Amino acid sequence: MMQQLRSYILITLCSILLMFPFISQGQAVFENPKHQVYDFLSRQAQKGNIAFRDLIQPITRKQIATQLGVLQEDLSKLSATEQKELAFYQKEFAEFNEGLKDTTTFFKKDQVGRWRFLSVRKDGFLLNGDPSLSFTGTASTPGNRSKLANGLEFWGHAGNHFAFQFSFQDNTERGKGIDSLRIFTPETGVIKTESLNAKSLNYSNFRGYISYSWNNGLISVGQDQLTYGYGENGRVVLSDKAPAYPFIRLDYHPLKWLSFNYTHAFLQSAIIDSTRTYNKGNDIFGNYRESYIPKFMASHSLTFFPTKGLSLSVGESMIYSGNLEAGYLIPIMFFKVYDQYASRYKITTGSNGQFFLQANSRDHLKNTHLYATLFIDEIRLGDAFNRSKSRNQIGFNFGGSITDVFVPYLTLGAEYTRINPFSYQNLVPSQNYTSQKYVLGDWMGANADRLMGYIKYTPVARLKTSLFVQHTRKGDPGSLLDQYFALPQPQFLSTVLRADTQVQFKASYEWFNNLYVEGNVLWNTENNILSQGNQKIQQVQLNVRFGL
């Protein structure tokens, strides 16, 4: 199996590389989407100052540096606060500046004035490294707790085309009220180590890539979380709810108005494969050697840019399990057709396919960002509006915001997300739209919706404040019999099992590059039918971190 896997991957990489010319400059190191520069550039695009293509994240540091350079060309469009932030971010993304000399520094500022643990530039080779440290203290009605994280991250370039990066962090939480399951929350799921102590939780995070880039594209092999679409507190198609997973990623921009993305991911089914489980010959930690059912996701999408600030995207994905399928390693394959070929039109041998659409508009209404996403798990187009026959197993969101309202750097926004019953689910458990049992799409899962409004304000450079108010409802997930045979289908939220109303205030200040001081206050009222009562949670949290 492993030999076959390696052969498939090698053939795929070679085939993709041979499709494109080996020209141009452009190293591809991906920047963590949690970096505040994403919000800075998104807002500048919302004001019409740049064309920021962030539909699929993470994006590369090169793309970020290019957009910062565009803003630098006409500072008259920026306020004094924005100009200070621009100068600050340019110091962080300065590796592409012309005229930089070969140098090596330890525990000091590099030649553009950014402090680094390690910075090396020598004959086209670049290596930057920093520690990754954070401490979080939480006072909450379920109980007080703390979180300590430490690790290391480094990244760099080798020549004009190859790039690499590594980010590892070990996390330990202690105290009362630790949420080790993270089921109905936007927080990323964790793969916890075994522990008999309910007041302690340990887990690790890893992101890493090796990439090759050319003038209008790149291919990378790595492990990370990929997000697709827009959303303030979740994404319908791909989100960061599931822990990072390995993948092969191809981004290609053949025309100014067209881009193509392909990903083949190696997911974790978290389901034991009994056919590959065998007696290992001793009873230490049990008699059997267990193996999980292999699980994969193939995804590709086309994005069109008809005019500045407008993007329209259409895509397809397929979740499949068992053997690695050659058809899903072909970036331009029509996955649905290949599934029909491979399964011979039998539902019990087929895979789990999805289609998705995305529309995004920036500054067509002055200083306004509007977006909408549609995720189609299953639908009968002819009966879409017939309540007795419809099977609209879909998810969607739509939202918008307007910035510079009343005062500069004040943003008002609202968003609605709905996931219909049985979306993300499949009759084959190993082909659910999940990895490590966490949904790949919106964290609410099926039969749920969320309405939210928010205010964001930056009173001084790099000090980000926000106030979020949201109401979330979750219904009965239903049964497989209902999913495949019930006519009419169970109504959306016919029974509400849980309803949460949440108010949260956040503040974050990036003191130095990648050194953050953050705080948030949360009020949450949970009406849970299963626990037969209301629960009110109040939480105050303080976080100091270096790195992402």
Over the stretch 262-312, which tens digit does the pLDDT of each residue have? 999 999 999 999 999 999 889 888 889 999 999 999 999 999 999 999 999
Percent above pLDDT 70 for the chain? 93
- Of the candidates 108, 98, 102, the residue with the CA atom closest to the CA atom of residue 121: 102
Distances from the Cα of 390 to the Cαs of 114, 353, 376, in angstroms? Answer: 58, 18, 13
Place domain 24-98+132-546 in its CATH homologous superfamily: Capsule assembly protein Wzi (2.40.160.130)
Cα–Cα distances (Å) from 286 to 278, 281, 283, in that order, read 11, 10, 5
Structure tokens at 529: 């039918």
Nearest to 220 by CA among 56, 371, 107, 361: 56
pLDDT value for 381: 66
Question: What integer pLDDT is reported at residue 93 of this predicted model?
Answer: 95
DSSP annotation string for 364-390: SSTTEEEEEEEEEEE--GGGTT-TTT-
CA distance 84 to 349: 58
Alpha-carbon gap, residue 404 to 322, rounded angstroms = 52
Return the pLDDT at 20. 46
Looking at residue 194, its pLDDT comes to: 73
Q: What is the pLDDT of residue 197?
A: 77
CA 315, 437, 479, 452 dihedral sign is negative
pLDDT at 285: 86
Could you give the CA distance from residue 100 to residue 88 in angstroms, rounded to a whole number?
Answer: 18
> Helix, strand, coil shares of the chain as percentages rounded to 5?
15, 50, 35
Tens of pLDDT, residue by residue over 305-353, are 999 999 999 999 999 999 999 999 999 999 999 999 999 999 999 999 9
* 3-class secondary structure per residue, 248-313: EEEEEEEECCEEEEEEEEEEEEEEECHHHCEECCCCCCCCEECCEEEEEEEEEEEEEEEECCEEEE
Spatial distance between the Cα atoms of 128 and 116, rounded to a whole number of angstroms: 7
Residue 385 confidence (pLDDT): 67
Tell me what pLDDT residue 443 has: 97
**Cα separations in angstroms, 123 against 24, 210, 214:** 17, 20, 19
Write out the two tokens for 537. Answer: 């949670």
| Every domain of the chain and the residues it spans | 24-98+132-546
pLDDT tens string 414-442: 999 999 999 999 999 999 999 999 999 99
Residue with tokens 């190191």: 29
Neighbours of 412 (CB within 10 A): 15
pTM flag (> 0.95): no
Give the pLDDT of residue 177.
82
Q: Which residues of the chain have pLDDT under 70?
A: 1-26, 196, 381-386, 388-389, 530-532
Which amino acid makes up residue 426?
A: N
Burial 315-350 (b: 16+ CB within 10 A, else e): bbbbbbbbebbebbbbbebebeebbeebeeeeeeeb
Kindly state the tokens that stand for 412: 């008002």
pLDDT given for residue 51 in this prediction: 95
